[in-house]
Amino acid sequence: MIHTEVTVKNTGTWNIEDVELNIQTNGLQTSRDRKYNYDNIAKRRSEKEEFYLKIPNLKEQRTYNITSTVSGKSWDGEKITANTSRSITILPGWKILGIEKNVTESVYLYGDHIKDHNIVYNNYANNSNISTDSIALVTLEIFNPGLTDINGIVLTDYLPENFVLDDNSSLYWEFNLSSKKKKVFSYSMKPLSHGIYTVPDAVANWSMDEKQYNATSVSNQSQIIVHAAYINLTKSTDQSYISPGDEVTVSVNIKNTGTIQAIVNVSDTIPENAILSNSSITRLKRVILQEGGSQRLVYRITINSTQDMLLPPANANFSDIYGYSGTTASNTVTIYVNEAYNTENTTQAIANQTEAPTTGIFSMIIEFISNLFSNKSVAE
Rounded to 5 degrees, what are φ and ψ at 308? -55, 145
Write out the H or E segment, with its range, that includes residue 2: strand 2-9
Q: Which residues of the chain have pLDDT under 70?
A: 31-33, 59, 93, 112-132, 339-380
The third-level CATH classification (topology) of the domain covering 2-90 is Immunoglobulin-like (2.60.40)
Domain 231-339: which CATH number of 3.40.50.261, 2.60.40.10, 1.10.760.10, 3.40.50.20: 2.60.40.10
**pLDDT on residue 147:** 81
Rounded to 5 degrees, what are φ and ψ at 29? -80, 145
Q: What is d(CA 275, CA 314) in angstroms, rounded to the nearest whole number?
A: 17
- State the CB neighbour count (10 A cutoff) for residue 258: 24
The CA angle 338-342-344, to the nearest 5 degrees, is: 120
- State the CB neighbour count (10 A cutoff) for residue 95: 16
CATH class of 98-227: mainly beta
Tens digit of each residue's pLDDT (9 = 90 or more) over 65-99: 889 899 998 888 888 888 888 888 887 767 889 99
Order of all β-strands in the sheet with 136-143:
163-165, 182-191, 136-143, 98-103, 218-219
Write out the H or E segment, with its range, that includes residue 326: strand 325-329
Write out the H or E segment, with its range, that includes residue 29: none
**pLDDT on residue 130:** 40
Beta bridge partners of 196: 225
- State the CB neighbour count (10 A cutoff) for residue 239: 11
Q: Is 118 helix (H, G, I), strand (E, B) or coil?
A: helix
Query: What does the domain layout of the chain look like in residue ranges?
Result: 2-90, 98-227, 231-339
